[in-house]
Homo-oligomer: A and B are copies of this chain.
């Protein structure tokens, strides 16, 4: 079982994604960056060009300990509207894997039908996309679901994922000068 799958869609929020990848790779998790399209090149919401490690189609059939969805728009809408993403999220949730989303990306979890009985947070202004209101917290864990509120929550979001996967992130937090 690989560790963590992070799905990058056109228009993803790059700071949320990169902070999370940076923290988790510093902690030596095996992190796979998958592009939503069949082209590994993905352009973020503020026009930075990335090359993912694989395409989602190439790695969707593997099992992961965690699925992570960066936010941003239109990245989050692109994730939500993709059948493979929804199936991947549902399968991970059914397997008891962590399902993690930040900023606008909790709309994907809502669309996958796995958020209705969970406490969660999301970027302010996205309340109408949920059946139950998000909490105001920067990061929320409820069972296997971890959500973050936006870019300024990304360090804490990543540390929470690490903790939920059994690693203590405090030395990395100190090394990154994150209080």
Please state the number of chain copies in the assembly: 2
Asked if A135 lies at the interface with its beta carbon under 8 angstroms from chain B, I say no
B47 pairs with A41, CB closer than 8 A? no
B151 pairs with A177, CB closer than 8 A? yes
Q: Mark A136-178, 1 if CB is under 8 A from B, else 0.
A: 0010000000000111110100000000000000000000111
Q: Chain B residues near A22 (CB, 8 Å)?
A: 13-15, 46, 151
Interface size class of A (residues with CB under 8 A): 20 to 34
Q: Chain B residues near A15 (CB, 8 Å)?
A: 15, 18-19, 22, 176
CA distance A123 to B49 in the complex (A): 27
| Residue from the list B21, B47, B151 in contact with A176, Cβ < 8 A | B151
Q: Mark A19-50, 1 if CB is under 8 A from B, else 0.
A: 10110011000000100000001000011111
Q: A14-B22, A155-B152, A177-B138 given as contacts; is B50 within 8 A of A49 (CB)?
A: yes
CA distance A102 to B152 in the complex (A): 19
The residue of chain B having its C-beta at the shortest distance from the C-beta of A124 within the complex is: B177
A138 to chain B, nearest CB (A): 7
A71 to chain B, nearest CB (A): 11
A62 to chain B, nearest CB (A): 19
CA distance A108 to B178 in the complex (A): 24
A46 pairs with B26, CB closer than 8 A? yes
A106 to chain B, nearest CB (A): 14
Q: Chain B residues near A50 (CB, 8 Å)?
A: 48-51
Query: In the complex, given contacts A25-B47, A48-B50, A152-B176, what are 17 additional A-B residue pairs having Cβ atoms less than 8 angstroms apart?
Result: A14-B21, A15-B15, A18-B18, A18-B48, A22-B151, A25-B46, A26-B46, A33-B48, A41-B51, A49-B51, A51-B51, A151-B177, A151-B178, A152-B177, A152-B178, A152-B179, A153-B177
